[in-house]
Structure 1
Amino acid sequence: MRWHPRGYGGQRRDPEQVKRDGWQEQGLLAISADDPRLTWPERELVRELGEKLYEPRMAEREVANG
């Protein structure tokens, strides 16, 4: 079954390419706090920025509350 007319298909971009394009085209940055390419201080900075902008993650809130 086709979901698009003939000639209008294409290749789905991988998530890394979507993130790269978002940064290049719109200045949006999508980073996983657990990305192994980052050093510990870089991951900590990402976590702190996320908490400042969007509040702590649910799992971290539960640990903090005991």
Structure 2
Amino acid sequence: MKIPQQHYRCPLGRLQPQVTDLEVIKQSGWRDQHILVVSPDDDRLDWTERELLRRIGERLYGTKGASHG
């Protein structure tokens, strides 16, 4: 009778980070909560879309060098 060998499972294996697909998280955020996460440098956008995003970001959050206070 053959008994299969038990493979030793290292307890540190649980501590290794899970690889997360950020695009899936962005998609579910948009579909579930209407939260849009997009970079104005995204190659899928044309110039007018990137410019629109830049203007919205600056209007809501200010320019890159501006300080709050």
Cα distance in 1 for partners of 2:23, 2:60 equals 23
Q: Figure out how many residues of one structure are paired with residues of the other and give that number.
A: 53
Higher helix share: 1
- Indicate the percent of aligned positions where both proteins have the same amino acid: 46
TM-score (norm. length: structure 2): 0.67
RMSD: 1.9
Deviations 1:12-58 (A, max 9, x none): 43111110000000000001010010000000000000000000123
Aligned to 1:37: 44
* Structure whose CA Rg is larger: 2
Equivalent position SS for 2:35: coil
Structure 2 unaligned blocks of 5 or more? 1-11
Stretches of 4+ aligned residues off by more than 2 angstroms: none
Question: What does 1:1-66 correspond to in 2, within 5 Å?
Answer: 1=12, 2-3=14-15, 12-58=19-65
Cα distance in 2 for partners of 1:31, 1:24 equals 14
Structure 1 unaligned blocks of 5 or more? 4-10, 62-66
